[in-house]
Amino acid sequence: MGQVQQARNVAIFVFDGVEILDFTGPFEVFITGSNRGQDFNVYTVAELENPVNALGNLSINASYTINNCPRTDILIVPGGRGARHEMHNETITNWIKEVSNEAELVFSVCTGALILAKANLLDGLKITTNRLAMNELREVAPQSAEIIENVRYVDNGKIILSAGISAGIDASLYVIEKLLGKDRALEAARIMEYDWYE
C-alpha cells in the first residue's frame, strides 16, 4: 500500500507595508491548488505577534511568528514598500537564510527580491523583481547574479523570483506545475478564473 504524501508547508512572510496582492495572490493559488488541503498547508508568518499593517492599512494577524513557525517546505517572501525596511532587519534576513537551508523552495514576489539579496541567497543566480525596482535590486544584488528584465519569473531550481504583484500569481501556478504537474496548475487557474501567463 502506497504511503500518503504529507502536505507541504507553505509559509508566507508578512510585514508592515507588504503589498497586498504579493502575499494574497500566492496564498489564493496554493489553497486553490492544494486539493482541499491535502497537498499544501498555507499560512502566514510575521516577526512578532502584533498585527501587521499591509499597504492601505489592511490589518493582518499572522498565523505564526518566526519563533513558532512550523517546518517550512516553501517560503514565499513578498514585497511592497516595507521590503525596503525589512531588507535591513537582520533578525528577518537571518531567519530567512536559516529557513532556506531546510526549505524545498524559496521564492520572492516583487521587491521581496531585495530581502533575499540581503539574506545572501542570490549568489550566481538569475534574478528579477518589479520593473520599477530594478535599479534598487542592482544596488544590493551580488555581482555574480544576473538581472533578467521583462519576465514574469525566473527559476533557479530552489530559488524562484517573480516580477511585481500579479506575477506572484503566475510564479505560484508555475510552482504548482513544477511540484504537482501542469494539469493541477491549470485546474487551479481555472477555478480562480485567472488567465495564467506561463
- Residue 152 counted as domain residue: yes
- Residue 1 counted as domain residue: no
pTM assigned to the model? 0.95
- Residue 82 counted as domain residue: yes
Alpha-carbon distance of 4 to 126, in angstroms, equals: 35
Q: Is the pLDDT of residue 1 over 60?
A: no
Is the sign of the CA dihedral 81, 44, 95, 171 positive or negative? negative
Residue 197: pLDDT band by 50, 70, 90 thresholds? confident
In CATH, what number is assigned to the domain containing residue 138?
A: 3.40.50.880
Question: How many domains does the chain divide into?
Answer: 1
- Residue 135 counted as domain residue: yes
- Residue 65 counted as domain residue: yes
Give the residue numbers spanning the domain of 88.
Answer: 8-192
Residue 34 backbone dihedrals phi, psi, to 5 degrees: -90, 0
pLDDT digits (tens, 9 = 90+) for 51-83: 999 999 999 999 999 999 999 999 999 999 999
